[in-house]
Chain A
Amino acid sequence: MRRVPLVLAAVAALAAASRAAAQDSVFGIRGLGFLDRSVSARSVAVGDALAPFDPEAALNPAALAAWRSTSGWAVGSGGNRTFDAGTGTSSLSATRFPVIGFAGVIGPRVVLGVTVSDFLDRNWSVQQTDTVSPRGTPVVASDQTRSLGGVSDVRVAMAYKMSSVTFGVGLHVLTGSTVTTIDRQFPSDSSYAAYRQQQNTSYGGVGLSFGVLATPVAKVLAAASVRFSGRLKATTSDASATVPLPVELHLGTYYQPLTGVVIAATVGHAGWGTAADALQAAGQEGSRDVWNAGFGVEAALLRMGRSLVPLRLGYRWRQLPFPIPSAPGVTSPLSEHAVTGGFGFDTAGGRATVDLGLESGSRAAGGLTERFTTLTVGLVIRP
């Protein structure tokens, strides 16, 4: 019992550190931002292949049925990125906390859960240097445009277990804000003063998700979920805009050929093309429908004390909805892929589980490439 306070302290440290945001990318400068993957460290380690079965993620509400007792969880991730603009590289890093949640078992068939996860990441910062001649004499102008914040997804969901099928339904509330600033400095001429302009934007929206888990044949678990995110309303002090959000569909299979061995795969589709008109009306490039897929293996090959230590490997690929302009009037689609791995172990007498997931991959559009390595740590406590 003495271990429990330490575990709770760890959860508190994770939860208090920051608003949720899975990853950053300079590619988030376009469209609505960088589309996040708010999944557990276990799912990360198997290339998101377990995401439709992931009770920690906000993807499939039916997956909540996996909780056998009241549980709380938090996921933190940190990593480094190298952005290659073709003319040079820059090293970037960030720390985020993509998912926080808890669930309670209400009777033998019903599980309720609340999850706070990241939906859109709008953290980015761009530095540009140019020469301007407002009075005929050239002066160096250094601009930094920076966006901090994003949109979070607060989901209240319920799973209902039947004999071989589990249903789930979730209510999603999208909320968040960004602070965008642009700073200009004239480092070579002190007769020009620095300039700063800032805009605060708040976001809101409501959505619904439905999911199902089923066992069609022995040793096989299938999952499906669909999410209707409605519309995202963005409001500033003097303007507002509404962007239709996509219908998302995810399918997954989970095959357990041997005890302790799991093979999983997933595929998903999101109709982000529905947001294209609204984005173009706002002066942005249009968005596109996107696919994602993942494949992974989990095998409990090691022991640590009396606990099994599952080892995980995977690969994932996905398209991102907001294209990058590679030349005036020309856009390049953005996609990313990663190889993944990790492991997990129980601790605190089985009352806590620690999962670690490591992924290394890249995302590219046109001649631009961003390579990333991300370590994700997940903690589940069952007090």
Chain B
Amino acid sequence: MSGSRSALAVLGLAAVFGCKEQLTTPGRCPAVCPATNLQLADTLLATADVSDTSVRGYVLVREASYLLTSNLDSLQSVALLRFAPMDSVWYSGTDTAHVGKRDSVQLTLQFLQRDSSVKQLRLVVYRLPAKFDTAATYADIAPYFADSNLVDTIAIEDTAQAGSHTFRIADSLVIAPADSGVVSLGLKLLAAGKTALTLGSGVLTSAPTLSAFVHARAPVDSLSKTFSVLPFVALFVMSPPPAQPPPGLLAIGGIPTARATVRLSLPKVVTDSNAVVRATLLLNTAAPAGGFARDSFYVIAQPVVRDYGIKSILWPDSSVSGKMLIHQGQTGPVEMDLAPILRFWGTTSGDSTPRLIVMRVYPEGSILGAVTLSGRAAGAAGPQLRVTYVKPYVFGVP
């Protein structure tokens, strides 16, 4: 064997040895297991909630991604659309065409969510004053939903699914010169039962579109064109109108959306390092959860980085959050996992942040769900925190 081959053989042996490493042995106590074991502790912090509050108005109606139409007894809502002005002239080659007759008027809507168990949905389209008051309440706007302003009644097939749907709503469209080309419509929902329908508002969703087939006036009356306009204003008004949550209750969700803030007082052992393996915020609903029938939605909790009251800055990392699923109509106790937040408070990033969490629906402004929880004023029914953590393990020296 040459020297080169010998050395290569040694290298080969070293390489083979270096490829395997298996140290793990099944423990058998007391012989081959650590002198001490991990110890879990579980504690109920009944008074962890030292203050809480709830405020409505984070996502406003005009910022929501949906338009709500509803004929529920508990909530009536109509959608209001003010479309951008339709042009009165257009150019075709060297010709200037002035708008004459408008016909074949179509309305395109994006259906987002409906209760498919309720049949014979109809959207009644009304002509509203072109420049209606965008701050109007349901009561203010209701008189315009009269037969004299009726444009059409859109029959929605019972099998209609979420997505874009186009309806011919009129054979002609007359726009008064004083309206400067602006058309405003109101949409009211009728159905065989009490229900709701949400439509895309144009915020993260498709906006309603109004289209008309336009003929030019003489002398170029042979020209025609389809005009389509998007809404300049898209909102909805509700009855009863939204209000701030009553004291002592933690309202979350709805529209304008509400958020609940809970300030926690925690013993040091709970926020030390990564000792928390499970933390559950125990809550009780104060009323059946709202939302579409048989639907469910998430309520999330996020830690506050800077406490500026209702404008507090939330920690944006989605992995540092709690989450619970709420079903429409749900009552009784509900639980939210807060362990990621408590562990965050034990890190160098989170140890100086306030022990404050904000609960909101997710995605906020895009769902109808709402839940009202009992606050600390409800005593035993108020928020409580149950924490399971590992007691500090003593490795021992040496």
**Is A32 close to B, CB under 8 A?**
yes
Please, how many angstroms separate the alpha-carbon atoms of A157 and B62 in the complex?
A: 84
Contact A3 B4 (CB under 8 A): yes
Q: Which residue in chain A gives the minimum CB-CB distance to B13?
A: A377
The B-contacting residues of A in range 189-239, CB under 8 angstroms, are: 191-197, 199, 201, 203, 232, 234-236, 239
On chain B, the residues within 8 Å of A232 by CB distance are 398
Q: How far is the CB of B48 from chain A (nearest CB, A)?
A: 17
Please, how many angstroms separate the alpha-carbon atoms of A135 and B339 in the complex?
A: 15
Please, how many angstroms separate the alpha-carbon atoms of A210 and B314 in the complex?
A: 68
On chain B, the residues within 8 Å of A327 by CB distance are 30
On chain B, the residues within 8 Å of A93 by CB distance are 20-22
Q: Which of A83, A86, A196, A332 contacts B274 (CB 8 A)?
A: A196
Q: How far is the CB of A245 from chain B (nearest CB, A)?
A: 11
Contact B32 A85 (CB under 8 A): yes
The A-contacting residues of B in range 1-32, CB under 8 angstroms, are: 1-4, 6-11, 13-18, 20-32
Question: How many chain A residues touch the partner (CB < 8 A)?
Answer: 89
The A-contacting residues of B in range 27-46, CB under 8 angstroms, are: 27-38, 40-42
Q: 8 closest Cβ contacts across the A-B interface? A: A78-B17, A348-B3, A234-B398, A3-B3, A128-B27, A95-B17, A347-B6, A6-B7
**Is B308 close to A, CB under 8 A?**
no
Which residues from chain B sit less than 8 Å from chain A, CB to CB? 1-4, 6-11, 13-18, 20-38, 40-42, 273-278, 337, 339-340, 343, 386, 388, 390, 392-393, 395-398
On chain B, the residues within 8 Å of A324 by CB distance are 31-32
On chain A, the residues within 8 Å of B9 by CB distance are 354
Q: Which of A195, A284, A366, A375 contacts B38 (CB 8 A)?
A: A195
Q: Which of A128, A283, A345 contacts B35 (CB 8 A)?
A: A283
On chain A, the residues within 8 Å of B31 by CB distance are 85, 324-326, 332, 365-366, 368
Please, how many angstroms separate the alpha-carbon atoms of A296 and B2 in the complex?
A: 29
**Is A180 close to B, CB under 8 A?**
yes
Contact A90 B397 (CB under 8 A): no
Please, how many angstroms separate the alpha-carbon atoms of A2 and B3 in the complex?
A: 9
Which residues from chain A sit less than 8 Å from chain B, CB to CB? 2-3, 6-7, 9-10, 13-14, 17-18, 24, 26-27, 29, 32, 76-78, 83, 85-88, 90-95, 123-128, 132, 134-135, 141, 143-146, 180, 182, 184, 186, 191-197, 199, 201, 203, 232, 234-236, 239-241, 243, 279, 282-284, 304, 324-328, 332, 345, 347-349, 351-352, 354, 365-366, 368, 375, 377, 379
On chain B, the residues within 8 Å of A236 by CB distance are 395, 397
Q: Which of A184, A203, A332, A347 contacts B1 (CB 8 A)?
A: A347
On chain A, the residues within 8 Å of B1 by CB distance are 304, 345, 347
Contact A184 B277 (CB under 8 A): yes
On chain B, the residues within 8 Å of A234 by CB distance are 397-398
Q: Which residue in chain A gives the minimum CB-CB distance to B337?
A: A191
Given contacts A6-B7, A143-B38, contact A94 B23 (CB under 8 A): yes
Given contacts A10-B14, A193-B343, A236-B397, contact A368 B32 (CB under 8 A): yes
Contact A17 B18 (CB under 8 A): yes
Contact B397 A94 (CB under 8 A): no
Given contacts A88-B26, A241-B398, A368-B31, contact A9 B7 (CB under 8 A): yes
On chain A, the residues within 8 Å of B396 by CB distance are 282-284
Contact A6 B33 (CB under 8 A): no
Do most interface residues of chain B lie in helix, strand or loop, or is the interface mixed? mixed
Contact B398 A3 (CB under 8 A): no
Q: Which residue in chain A gives the minimum CB-CB distance to B279?
A: A193
On chain B, the residues within 8 Å of A18 by CB distance are 18
Please, how many angstroms separate the alpha-carbon atoms of A383 and B72 in the complex?
A: 95
Q: Which of A14, A145, A192, A345 contacts B278 (CB 8 A)?
A: A192
> 28 pairs across A/B with beta carbons < 8 Å?
A3-B2, A6-B8, A9-B7, A10-B8, A10-B10, A24-B23, A29-B32, A32-B398, A78-B13, A78-B20, A95-B17, A124-B23, A126-B25, A128-B29, A128-B33, A134-B42, A135-B388, A182-B38, A192-B278, A193-B278, A197-B392, A234-B397, A236-B397, A282-B398, A325-B30, A326-B30, A347-B3, A354-B9
Q: Which of B3, B15, B25 contacts A7 (CB 8 A)?
A: B3
Given contacts A94-B21, A126-B34, contact A352 B27 (CB under 8 A): no
Contact A126 B21 (CB under 8 A): no
Contact B37 A352 (CB under 8 A): no
Q: How far is the CB of A25 from chain B (nearest CB, A)?
A: 9
Please, how many angstroms separate the alpha-carbon atoms of A5 and B6 in the complex?
A: 12
Q: How far is the CB of A26 from chain B (nearest CB, A)?
A: 4
Please, how many angstroms separate the alpha-carbon atoms of A203 and B278 in the complex?
A: 36
Beyond A92-B23, A192-B277, list 17 extra A-B contacts (CB 8 Å): A10-B8, A76-B13, A86-B28, A88-B26, A92-B25, A93-B20, A93-B22, A94-B23, A126-B33, A128-B37, A199-B395, A232-B398, A284-B35, A325-B31, A326-B31, A345-B1, A366-B31
Please, how many angstroms separate the alpha-carbon atoms of A229 and B84 in the complex?
A: 91
Q: How far is the CB of A327 from chain B (nearest CB, A)?
A: 7
Contact A90 B26 (CB under 8 A): yes
Q: Which residue in chain B gives the minimum CB-CB distance to A332?
A: B31
Q: How far is the CB of A322 from chain B (nearest CB, A)?
A: 11
Contact B28 A13 (CB under 8 A): no
